[in-house]
């Protein structure tokens, strides 16, 4: 599969680094954002194929960012996966209702991340 652009959004530098390294090792181009506003800016600038999006973020939360991506004509086809520590069934329900293509809880090991990315980008 040719390299894809993946936007990782998380306010934890440690989490961002771990996801970025795993994705770069898979041959993808990675852009990052540390808050909701920056995430939307990166979506507009880099046109990612996939967004891995934390829910608990400064400025705009992941649910709001996901909804904006999925409601805009130019970005609605971008795959969005919520990657979060929020593990309640209601959180998952709400995330998918916002238009997320998938919902996974942290921590995500590199093997699971690789499978998830491959599934979303096929």
Please report, for the domain that includes residue 17, its CATH number: 3.40.50.2300
Number of domains in the chain: 1
Beta bridge partners of 104: 83
Beta bridge partners of 53: 9, 82
Pair 76, 64: CB distance under 8 Å: no
Q: What was the pLDDT predicted at 3?
A: 83
The per-residue pLDDT for range 69-115, each reduced to its tens digit, is: 999 999 999 999 999 998 999 999 999 999 999 999 998 999 999 99
The per-residue pLDDT for range 48-57, each reduced to its tens digit, is: 999 999 999 9
The per-residue pLDDT for range 6-37, each reduced to its tens digit, is: 999 999 999 999 999 999 999 999 999 999 99
Q: What was the pLDDT predicted at 1?
A: 60
Q: How many CB atoms lie within 10 A of CB 21?
A: 12
Q: Which domain holds residue 29?
A: 5-121
């Amino acid at each position: 599969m040719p390299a894809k652009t993946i936007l990782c959004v998380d306010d934890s530098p440690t989490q961002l680094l771990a996801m970025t390294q795993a994705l770069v090792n898979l041959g993808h181009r990675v852009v990052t954002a540390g808050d909701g506003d920056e995430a939307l800016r990166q979506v507009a600038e880099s046109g990612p194929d996939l967004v891995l999006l934390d829910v608990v973020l400064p400025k705009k939360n992941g649910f709001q960012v996901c909804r904006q991506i999925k409601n805009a004509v130019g970005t609605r086809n971008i795959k969005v996966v919520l990657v979060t520590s929020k593990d309640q069934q209601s959180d998952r329900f709400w995330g998918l209702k916002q238009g997320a293509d998938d919902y996974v809880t942290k921590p995500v090991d590199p093997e699971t991340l690789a499978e998830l990315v491959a599934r979303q980008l096929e």
